[in-house]
Amino acid sequence: MTPNANGKVKIPTKFYQEDIVQGNNSRSYGIVLRCWHDSDDTPPPQDQHDPLMRPLEKGEVGVSFFPNGIREILPESEFTLVDRMFQPGDLCKRSIDDVRSGVITSVDVKGRLEHAISGEPVPDWKSMNDIETPADVDIGDYVAYDNWIGQVVELFDEAVVDVSNGQLVRLPELSSRLTVGEKGSDIIPPPTYVSHLFGLLSRPVRGSHSDTVVDVKHSVLAISWLAINQSLPTEVAQNASRPERFWSGANLAKLKLVRSRAEWMMRVGDKVILKDAASLPSTRHGKEGEPYGVIEVRVYVVRETQTTVDVLWQDGSIETLPTTKLIPYLNPDEYDCWPGDHVLWKGEDEKRVAVVQSVNALDRTATIRFSDTGTIELASVLELDPHGTNDWSAVAPTTFDGLGVRRGDFVFIHHEGTTNGLEKPKVPRIGEVEPWVRELPVVHPDGHYGGWRKTMAEIGMDIAHRRGPDQIVEGKIRKPGPDDTSLNWFGEVSNLGLDGGVEVTLPNGAVAKFALERLTRLYDTLEQLEDLWGEGSAQGDPEHDHIHDHDTEMWAMDEDGNWQAQSNGGENDEWEETDDEGDYVMDEGEAQIDDIHTADNEVHTSWWDHIVPTMTAVPTEQQDTASVSQVPSSTLRSSSPDVPRDATEKEDVLVDGATVNGVDEDGDKSSHWKRFEVLPEAPRDHAFHNSTPSQPSRNFLARLQKEYRALSSSLPESIIVRAYEDRSDLLRSLIIGPENTPYEDAPFVIDWMLDSDFPQSPPIAHFLSWTNGNGRVNPNLYEEGKVCLSILGTWAGDRSESWSPSRSSLLQALVSIQGLVLVKEPWFCEPAYDKLRGTEEGIINSRLYNEKAYVLSRGFVRRALEVPLGSLESEISWLYHEQGRLAKVLCDARALVEKSRGETTTPPQDPSLATRGDRHRDPAVPRLTAGGIITLERTLAKLEVLQRVPTP
């Protein structure tokens, strides 16, 4: 690294949002607003004129320069990093390829300032001790009043503007869009907007580039009151009245400002007031004798910062570093934890509360202190749950981690001797957002607001109109002083102790330590509104990004149930033609099911009687590669390099004398491994068994006939499906994990239900997750059973990817899951991560995810053998016991464990590796960490018992 012309060191690393950068060929500074690797970087609407909103190419950043306000997208190589912003609780690393991470515990910022209007620099660096405690509040700030905590959700401002002719004019408006020092022709709104300002502008004013804001006063606050003091007696809290929503005038002095440590820090672009500014640059505006007289401005803007932080590393060490030596850790592993974190240790049959003492990130092990005994033990991080939620996602982590608290959280403190009401280490979250706050802004064409904002604007305009004659004076909102203990029932988490205690910084600056069970987390208004409006505005599942199908051709089923490729978007690529009202018009082969019985006791038999004679069943033993090739499996598979080969491409592998992948020469596979079969009754352990069956319609049965044809003739070898005579709406499928993926040889069972309007709506899938609460085995297979795939309507895709009654089928859905979900590198199934393929960050995260997926899916083998699964008992037993697949699983896993330990006891002629050849030069799981070995060996011990004594 060499200094550039300005003497600053150019750091060879990519940039992140909020980085402060300097152009290599100029003295101008900028703030990074967008990066090519941002997880939420999606193409903007086509009519977007913002120069920063076009899609970014790899290596590009979107930067807003100051003070000129220019916004550009440029290559990263044109910038040098000046400062990087962190706040307490943020995660960091030293470099992308460093497996160890840390948590920021404290931040120290110093800045260079200049006058907000003249631009004259202020001598020397200024620290936070030089900044005067602000009397004004901003949107998002917390305020306290009479045992209540609230949050500012809107402001009505009165700005004083020095216009081009030297006149000072007052501009009242709702929005808090202006700050002291802003200039430009857009400061004064157009005449159509200001026509309702009651003549507060003393004369017609046209916007000029020299118009300058010289003062801003927040005259009305809208406050969302979230929760009451949790240490109050129940009867007192229940009878307490919620404070008013609008605050103004002298009443503002009754409020107390409660800001986080992060909010007190200087950031580039902030406007600040210094404690000792008598000899510092200032400007004067206005004239004596005018309504506003002369206004002297001593407001300064932060132009450059230098930030240092204290970092608590996973191994327990603490270090003070400049932030330019660190990078944000944006994509944490779901098992990541840090000293002081409260976690659940999940064993075979028990869960125990523990506190993390230290973590060896390389080995994926952690030293934990069990809360019940105080003993300290070594554990695999794969057995730790730091979140307490089943749908955790690194792309979009839940706003509420159910276990423990984090640094930077605001918490209520319960009275000594009482608790938050939950079993440790769970911590509740409270914060009621009143209905009025949820109202979306309504602005009429004339600039007037609707709803509660109209009421607020009317209050603000009345104050502005009366300000001259009535001499209205606003009260000052202050931060609680050191001797003020009135708010010591609320505070910010500042540290986590290794003994489980939590340090809380109180509003008066004092620090106290509390037991975890005495704390309740604050769920603030802005978080809730973001969650509410975010869910309402997105299609599909907004919480998680998921894979998209990559079909390039459309496929349709012919009369015999075979798939044929059709042109994309063609008019003749449908299974059935429809009439004008959208009902199916059946062909002659379907006409015989026209007369359907309607009585419940007849439907369960008659529907099957009508379908069976017309099905062209293809015996499983007669299926060959040619018949299976009719399935569009190649087009259902992703174009990414980690898609596994189809099951039909597998080779035979000899393990302990048994043929594993193929068929034993003396075995009768057809009698044990029927890919499709209709059984008399649906099993009681089917996920949808208790659902109310719908009356099968004529169209439903016509379509089911074609679905059955396709399943009976074209299923890949490693997928079997069972249908049921008594429940035409239910199916159960078993998919064996593809070769050279972390899912190899593992059973994946999905239960299906066909809605009454199938095929107009996609089939409903429920994945049987057997992870024991230790996380998802795949980003698209949720622990609660959801299968996230665009063809199933559980993720928004484009037309070619979504379910279509004419182009989609159960067969397509099954092959999509095998080919697009159970892949070699499932971490990249998240589209937000696909752009990181080939990067060091992507390689590391993918390797860690593969280890988890491999270890968890070995547990799937155990679960399938220990608890017989309805409709599939004999098939699973035959595959794993009689055909030796269990022996192969054990042999492969033991070889991987030995390889990972660096042992060389495995003979080169090990039969489990004999026929794999070149395909295993780049295995999906090349090695295991120590933590992975600990967890895997628990499962292997159980599997070895099952191998010796098969479950009856």
DSSP collapsed to 3 states, 104-126: EEEEEEEEEEEECCCCCECCCCE
b (16+ CB within 10 A) / e for 12-47: eebbbeebbbbbeeeeebbbbbbbbbbbeeeeeeee
Nearest to 478 by CA among 265, 303, 258, 744: 258
How does pLDDT run across 37-54, given as a tens digit for each residue?
A: 887 645 555 555 678 888
* Bond prior to 425 in cis (omega within 30° of 0): yes
Q: How far, in Å, CA of 752 to CA of 733, rounded?
A: 8
Please give the structure tokens belonging to residue 369.
Answer: 């202190």
Give residue for tokens 């099911």: 593
Bridge partners of residue 83, in order along the sequence: 20
CA distances from 269 to 111, 204, 308 (A): 11, 32, 19
pLDDT band at residue 781 using 50, 70 and 90 as cut-offs: very high
Write down the pLDDT at residue 554: 38
Q: How far, in Å, CA of 846 to CA of 614, rounded?
A: 48
Write down the pLDDT at residue 799: 60
Q: How far, in Å, CA of 495 to CA of 511, rounded?
A: 10
Write down the pLDDT at residue 730: 96
Inform me whether the pLDDT recorded for 540 exceeds 60. Answer: no
Q: How far, in Å, CA of 864 to CA of 720, rounded?
A: 15
Q: How far, in Å, CA of 258 to CA of 235, rounded?
A: 26
Segment (H or E) for 30: strand 29-35
SS3 777: coil
In 85-186 the beta strands, taken as DSSP E runs, fall at 91-93, 102-115, 126-127, 142-145, 148-162, 168-174
Least confident segment among 136-150, 249-263, 519-533: 519-533
Write down the pLDDT at residue 907: 43
Percent residues over pLDDT 90 in the chain:
52
Least confident segment among 330-339, 626-635, 795-804: 626-635
H helices of 418-543, in order, are 451-470, 525-537
In 706-746 the beta strands, taken as DSSP E runs, fall at 719-724, 730-736
As a whole number of Å, the CA-based R_g of the chain is 33
Write down the pLDDT at residue 882: 93
Give residue for tokens 């008598």: 278
With beta carbons less than 8 A apart as the criterion, state whether 594 and 698 touch. Answer: yes
Q: In one letter, which amino acid is 793? A: G
Residues 6+ apart with CB under 8 A from 77: 59
With beta carbons less than 8 A apart as the criterion, state whether 489 and 143 touch. Answer: no
Nearest to 328 by CA among 343, 301, 342, 307: 307
Q: How far, in Å, CA of 871 to CA of 296, rounded?
A: 84
Nearest to 927 by CA among 363, 346, 483: 363
788 belongs to the catalytic site: yes
Q: How far, in Å, CA of 929 to CA of 851, rounded?
A: 8
Least confident segment among 207-211, 499-503, 838-842, 941-945: 207-211
Write down the pLDDT at residue 24: 77
Nearest to 330 by CA among 618, 536, 39: 39
Of the residues 35, 92, 337, 788, only one is catalytic, namely: 788
Give phi and psi for 564, each to the nearest 5.
Answer: -130, 140
Most confident of 288-297, 769-778, 818-827: 818-827
With beta carbons less than 8 A apart as the criterion, state whether 551 and 563 touch. Answer: no
Q: How far, in Å, CA of 852 to CA of 854, rounded?
A: 5
Segment (H or E) for 604: helix 600-611
pLDDT band at residue 92 using 50, 70 and 90 as cut-offs: very high
pLDDT band at residue 772 using 50, 70 and 90 as cut-offs: confident
pLDDT band at residue 262 using 50, 70 and 90 as cut-offs: confident
b (16+ CB within 10 A) / e for 865-890: beeebbbbbebbbbbbbebbbbbbbb
Q: How far, in Å, CA of 829 to CA of 738, rounded?
A: 16
Please give the structure tokens belonging to residue 434.
Answer: 């009143």
Q: How far, in Å, CA of 891 to CA of 911, rounded?
A: 9
Inform me whether the pLDDT recorded for 71 exceeds 80. Answer: yes
Segment (H or E) for 750: strand 747-753
Inform me whether the pLDDT recorded for 246 exceeds 50. Answer: yes
Q: How far, in Å, CA of 730 to CA of 397, rounded?
A: 33
Write down the pLDDT at residue 705: 92
* 27 vs 783, higher pLDDT: 783
With beta carbons less than 8 A apart as the criterion, state whether 870 and 686 touch. Answer: yes
Q: How far, in Å, CA of 546 to CA of 801, rounded?
A: 12
Instruction: Supply angle C-alpha 215, 217, 219, rounded to 5.
Output: 160
With beta carbons less than 8 A apart as the criterion, state whether 725 and 681 touch. Answer: yes
* 852 vs 4, higher pLDDT: 852
Tally of CB atoms within 10 A around 179: 17
Least confident segment among 61-65, 87-91, 693-697, 725-729: 693-697
How does pLDDT run across 866-921, given as a tens digit for each residue?
A: 999 999 999 999 999 999 999 999 999 999 999 999 854 444 444 444 444 444 56
Residues 6+ apart with CB under 8 A from 177: 157
pLDDT band at residue 533 using 50, 70 and 90 as cut-offs: low
pTM (predicted TM-score): 0.78
SS3 289: coil
Residues 6+ apart with CB under 8 A from 485: 508
| Residues written for the chain | 952
Q: How far, in Å, CA of 658 to CA of 888, rounded?
A: 9
H helices of 795-929, in order, are 810-816, 831-834, 840-866, 873-877, 885-900
* 69 vs 519, higher pLDDT: 519
Inform me whether the pLDDT recorded for 667 exceeds 90. Answer: no
Q: How far, in Å, CA of 650 to CA of 883, rounded?
A: 15
Inform me whether the pLDDT recorded for 438 exceeds 80. Answer: yes
Write down the pLDDT at residue 567: 42
Inform me whether the pLDDT recorded for 677 exceeds 50. Answer: yes
pLDDT band at residue 774 using 50, 70 and 90 as cut-offs: confident
Average pLDDT over residues 394-405: 61
With beta carbons less than 8 A apart as the criterion, state whether 611 and 704 touch. Answer: yes
What is the pLDDT of the chain when averaged over all its residues?
80
